[in-house]
Amino acid sequence: MEKVSSGDASIDFEAFARVDVRVGEIRSVERTEGTRAAAYKLVIDFGAEIGTKVSVAQATNHPPETLQGTQVLAVVNLEPRRIGKYVSEVLTLGVPTEDRGTALVVPDMKAIVGGRLF
């Protein structure tokens, strides 16, 4: 099979397969204090296998009450990262919007909590 490269940052499939992206459901949202950029502390439920994890996400263009109960995709197998006084255990996936906000990556229909991206 011919390798197709998208530049210097290309990885092989085996490396990509090690990235564990799961569906989680946001259980609570609170504004962070003391972080460099405005952010939310999200408590996300990933089901029985993974449990509940914390993510610090710069998704403050969403009103907090609209995020609770939302399903999101997150990388669950990164090392925890300290952000201000918080520890972010998972990386909630998002992409930039034209108005400098964040569009969260979400399933297009109700998905199984804890389900793995394939």
pLDDT digits (tens, 9 = 90+) for 35-89: 999 999 999 999 999 999 999 999 999 999 999 999 999 999 999 999 999 999 9
Unique residue bearing structure tokens 């108005």 = 99
Unique residue bearing structure tokens 């564990």 = 20
Share of the chain above pLDDT 90, in %: 89
* CATH 2.40.50.140 holds for 21-104: yes
Q: What sign results for the dihedral spanned by CA atoms 27, 60, 18, 76?
A: negative
Distance (Å) of CA 75 to CA 4, 23, 34: 25, 9, 24
Q: Which amino acid is residue 35, in one-letter code?
A: T
The whole model's pTM is what?
Answer: 0.89
